Amino acid sequence: MIKSSVPNCPVPIEQQPLNEYEELKSSWLFRDSTLNLGKYITKILWIWGLSWLLAGPVAAASFPPHKHIAHFILCGAAGASVGVLLALARLYLGWFYVRDRLYSPTVFYEESGWYDGQTWTKPQSVLTRERLIVTYEIKPILQRLQITFAGLAGMFLIGTIVWHLF
């Protein structure tokens, strides 16, 4: 059960940025981005491998493996990378949203529905605590995701060069 992190806070418990962070950190997909580097890479490779289940048959239909093995592998690998790209985009957007909510000096919330939005200004102690979480917990995750995006872009570039060599 998530508890209120700030006494006398008008923001509903599930909309408080710290609770949104804790919920995101414990969810199955987002938890994977907080793992140590080896486990994180393993999870990314699992997503890539599972994406081959869809990309492989499409690549095989376009480039029969018995005739064009190199093009089949490159096309399948690129197609499977789309699954990784989508997962990374989801991770990045989720962490970026929570980072903004934690870093902001004000919190927009809805009391009972979309029509009655309010804004709450965080006390300095809450703002300081939440900005520390952003600095030491969320920024490293976002940097890891950015590096993964760059690595994926590099792999696409290498794949394109290899494609043109065949």
Q: What is the pLDDT of residues 107-123, one digit of tens each?
A: 999 877 667 788 999 99
Report in angstroms the alpha-carbon separations of 121 from 11, 99, 106, 108, 109: 10, 16, 4, 9, 11
In a domain, 34, yes or no: yes
The pLDDT tens digits of the residues spanning 49-67 come to 999 999 999 999 999 999 9
pLDDT of amino acid 114: 67
Distance CA 3, CA 88 (A): 30
Only one residue has tokens 């939440």, namely 130
pLDDT of amino acid 1: 46
In a domain, 9, yes or no: no
pLDDT of amino acid 18: 95
pLDDT of amino acid 8: 78
Q: Is the dihedral of CA 81, 87, 92, 93 positive or negative?
A: positive
The domain tally of the chain equals 1
In a domain, 49, yes or no: yes
pLDDT of amino acid 166: 82
In a domain, 3, yes or no: no
Distance CA 46, CA 28 (A): 14
pLDDT of amino acid 5: 62
In a domain, 15, yes or no: no
User: Could you say which residues of the chain have pLDDT below 70?
Assistant: 1-5, 113-114
In a domain, 87, yes or no: yes
Q: What is the DSSP string of 23-77?
A: HHHHSHHHHHTTS-HHHHHHHHHHHHHHHHHHHHHHHHHHS-TTT-HHHHHHHHH
Domain, as residue range, for 156 = 23-109+118-165
Distance CA 92, CA 86 (A): 10
In a domain, 28, yes or no: yes
Tokens of 120: 């709450």
In a domain, 29, yes or no: yes
The answer to whether the predicted template modeling score (pTM) of the entire model surpasses 0.85 is: yes
